[in-house]
Amino acid sequence: MRMIGLIGGMSWESSAEYYRLLNKGTRARLGASASARCLLWSFDFAEIEALQHAGDWSRLTERMVDAAQRLEAAGADLLLICTNTVHRMAHDVQSAVAIPLIHIADPTAERIVTAGFRKVGLLGTAFTMEHDFYKGRLTERHGLEVIVPDDEDRATVHRIIYDELVAGRIRPSSREAYRAVIARIVDAGAQAMILGCTEIMMLVGQEDSPVPIFDTTAIHAAAALDQALATDRSIDEAQGTTTLASVKSASFSETPY
């Protein structure tokens, strides 16, 4: 099994879920006593959050590149950025290392396309919902039409992520708020929903949506295991695009699609 490098701590709540999913998946594939080979570089999210809301993306890029290079030097064979928002600097991170970075949007989009959907709703931080680094990749690379909440709903989704979920707070009232946002996006034509923030799966799941939900955290972890356990030839082929057509083979009960 190849060594998986994790750029985490954004927040540690979702990083803990990545660790759980990677180990659960390794056990399912390799046997009861097997566990994932991984390295974790964990940031203090308070510092990252401050830079995000200050719009200081250049300093954030420097920090992500530094973390990626440290993980590569420590022996990582592939990289995950354990958050959707920080994929804003995914290109810079990939350019700074020789090992492949699995972009969280790619295996998610591949799952959606394989399931036969083309029009999807997107929940995430305001940065993910409003900036083009994520929506544009889904559209330009994978042909998806992306629907985001209106201004008021985007503010609600963003606030709950930063004020509650990153602190591990799960409130029934917030679950109801997310359910209402999802319902309005479905009314606008969404055939499926992307949980485009790695903490959202703590709050809502398939039972909260009238259309299929695609949890980026579980899908991303499954894609990492596909690559970590792939043959040398498969790895060589995957390095050119940093995306994997084989993600559909992953078996996580948390992700039905």
Active centre residues (catalytic): 83, 197
Nearest to 204 by CA among 217, 195, 192: 195
Omega of the bond leading into 11 within 30 degrees of 0 (cis): yes
Full strand arrangement of the beta sheet holding 145-147: 145-147, 119-123, 192-195, 213-215
In the numeric block, the tokens 């990289």 are attached to 79
Q: What is the dihedral of CA 214, 163, 13, 93, to 10 degrees?
A: 70
| 149 touches 126 (CB < 8 A) | no
CA gap 241, 122 in Å, rounded:
23
Question: If residue 161 lies in a helix (H) or strand (E), which one and from where to where?
Answer: helix 151-163
Do the beta carbons of residue 168 and residue 162 sit within 8 Å?
Answer: no
On the 0-12 / 13-18 / 19+ scale of CB atoms within 10 A, 240 is: exposed
